[in-house]
């Protein structure tokens, strides 16, 4: 196993642990969290047994997903994350709307 494999296993294991330990309020969130947990455990198994080789893109994607899970406190479907993204997107669009209105 390469260093990328070990790093990918560590990142997926950390993400799976956060999702597993999260207390879900809604049933929808629990279903999504369980599906992600099962996928991560299966990928960890495949990587540990040598059936899957981790590329740099796999590690980067898993790291980004880990940061999203960490910022959501384990609940990837939390409203806080999506509301935050929505407010940032509204702010970003308002910059272009303001500059467009000033040109006319």
User: Cα(104)–Cα(99) distance, rounded to whole angstroms?
Assistant: 9
User: Cα(69)–Cα(16) distance, rounded to whole angstroms?
Assistant: 9
In the chain, where the domains are located: 3-77
Alpha helices, H only, the chain: 3-21, 27-49, 56-71, 79-103
- Residue 80 phi, psi dihedral angles, 5° rounding: -60, -45
Tens of pLDDT, residue by residue over 61-103, are 999 888 888 877 767 766 455 555 666 666 666 666 655 555 5
Tens of pLDDT, residue by residue over 30-47, are 787 888 889 999 999 999
């Amino acid at each position: 196993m390469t260093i990328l494999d070990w790093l990918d296993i560590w990142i997926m294991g950390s993400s799976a642990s956060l999702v597993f330990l999260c207390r879900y309020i809604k049933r929808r969130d629990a279903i999504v969290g369980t599906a992600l947990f099962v996928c991560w455990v299966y990928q960890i198994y495949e990587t540990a047994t040598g059936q899957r080789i981790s590329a740099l893109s796999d590690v980067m994607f898993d790291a980004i997903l880990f940061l999203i899970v960490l910022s959501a406190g384990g609940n990837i479907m939390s409203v806080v994350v999506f509301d935050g993204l929505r407010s940032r997107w509204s702010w970003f669009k308002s910059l272009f709307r303001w500059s467009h209105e000033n040109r006319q």
